[in-house]
Amino acid sequence: MPREHHLETRRTARYFTLGTPSEAVSEVWFVLHGYGQLAGTFIEEFAALDDGRRLIVAPEGLSRFYAQGSGGPDSKVGGSWMTREDRLVEIEDYLRYLDALHDAVFAQVPRERVRLTLLGFSQGTATASRWALRGKGRVDRLVLWAGVLPPDTEWRAEARRLNALGLTFVIGERDEWASGNLALAEGALERAGVSHRLVTFAGGHRMDRDCLRAIADTAPGR
């Protein structure tokens, strides 16, 4: 019978930024892309937030694949945070990765002087949620866009921490995939006594730059 083994090995992760670390920075945003996206493209959605006060950091999922095509020069490449295969190990890998990136960013920006917003889109919402609850960083606001907390969330056990995250859901009014999952999640949050904010926009399963600007501009303290 074959036996399964695991071996930890060093690898290089990629991330992109908008903005420059400086004393003028008052907000840091970690933004996590969805399935089949790449960080370099995803971060372009946040260009309007690059106003000198914000540093935007877009980590890329550790797994890439040919989303379209068979590997030729015109094949589209996408990224993924995890799959169901060996999922628990993949979760631990990306949690360690995000912890390391957090330390690298805040070696350049004093953590005590800035507000940290963590935004996940689609598949990135599960990654963002797990890191907010289990990572070493102190997240001030968690924005879940076109997705919800993962089903393995211990709602009642995590209620106090979830309430401290300023939890915001964002969903397009025509996003059929996310709307049903959100209804289930809101029921679980209500039963666990977790408060949250729901923001909608006229659109489907995508980012919306006008909605994003409105969320950024209504951050507490502004």
Chain centroid to CA 108: 21
> Going from the N-terminus, what domains does the chain have, and what CATH number goes with each?
15-216 (3.40.50.1820)
pLDDT at 60: 97
pLDDT at 122: 95
The answer to whether 124 and 81 have CB atoms below 8 angstroms apart is yes
- For residue 23, is pLDDT > 90? no
Strands 63-68 and 76-80: antiparallel
pLDDT at 222: 44
Pull the structure tokens for residue 81: 């945070």
State pTM to two decimals. 0.93
Q: In which band, very low, low, confident or very high, does the pLDDT at 219 lie, cut at 50, 70 and 90?
A: low
pLDDT at 40: 96
pLDDT at 221: 42
pLDDT per residue as tens digits for the range 68-104: 777 777 788 889 999 999 999 999 999 999 999 999 9
pLDDT per residue as tens digits for the range 167-193: 999 999 999 888 778 888 888 888 888
pLDDT at 94: 95
pLDDT at 125: 96
- Nearest-CA neighbor of 166 among 199, 205, 123, 211? 199
